Every structure is written in C-alpha cells, then in structure tokens.
Structure 1
Amino acid sequence: MECRKEKNLKLCTCTYAHCDKKGICCECVAYHRGRGELPGCFFPPEAERTYDRSVEAFIRAHQKR
C-alpha cells in the first residue's frame, strides 16, 4: 500500500517539529506502540503540546472532558 504522506500531513495534529515520522502514520503508531505510548493525534491540543504520550496522560486528558 502506498503511503499518503502529503494527505496525512494535512490532518496531522502533532506539534513536534523534528519528528521524522510526521505524516507517516503507520511508522508513528508503531513507534509509539513500541514505547507503550499513543501518538500525539490521539490527544486534545492542550495535552498534545506537553509531549507526554503515555497512556496515563491520555486517560487524564480525556477524563477532563
């Protein structure tokens, strides 16, 4: 399957500018999953900007809603 990086970049909400996986969702998900984390796009904007991708941070961010 061909990567749709340009299309993905238009939807990507990750603010980490130096990420080499930005727009390559399959690599991003695999990277974070391997670290026991979730990708930044799973978080609301204010939580994403903390760069804490832990499951605990995800739960905290969504309990506030």
Structure 2
Amino acid sequence: MHCENFEKNLNNCNCSYPGCPRKGKCCECLAYHRAHGELPACYFTDEEEKTWNRSIEYFVSRRK
C-alpha cells in the first residue's frame, strides 16, 4: 500500500520495535494495535515506548 505521508510519518514515528513493517504507515499501525487492544507507540512518551508495553491499561496508569 502506498502512503503519501510515509516520509513525514516516519520522521515523527517513535516506534523502536526493530523491523516493524508498519513504521511510518499510521493507518496500518492504528488498525494493528486496535485489533490487539493496544495503542501505537505515538501515544507514549519515548521512555514509556521503550517498554514495548502498548496496553491501554499501561497508558492509563502512566497518566494518573
């Protein structure tokens, strides 16, 4: 799938998962994580993202 915003997205993507096939492809990333009951890396700070814990529970717990 071609993404017109791929380069722009890639510059803003903080996903640190090596070899992620969805990096820079926001629509695919959102669909993937939503299907797994998760949030994508961009919802998390860089420090939180490094845990690779994408759960909604983790996200909420970090905002209390």
SS at match of 2:61: helix
TM-score, normalized by length of structure 1? 0.88
What aligned pairs does 1:26-65 form with structure 2 within 5 A after superposition? 26-63=27-64
Q: Retained in 2: the 8 A contact 1:44–1:61?
A: no
Structure 2 partner of 1:13? 14
Deviations 1:1-60 (A, max 9, x none): x62111100011111121000000000000000000000110111111000100011012
Matching residue's letter, 2:51: T
Q: Where does the alignment leave 5 or more consecutive residues of structure 2 unmatched?
A: none
Structure 2 partner of 1:25? 26
TM-score, normalized by length of structure 2? 0.89
Number of equivalenced pairs: 62
Moved over 4 A (4+): none
* Amino-acid identity (%): 52
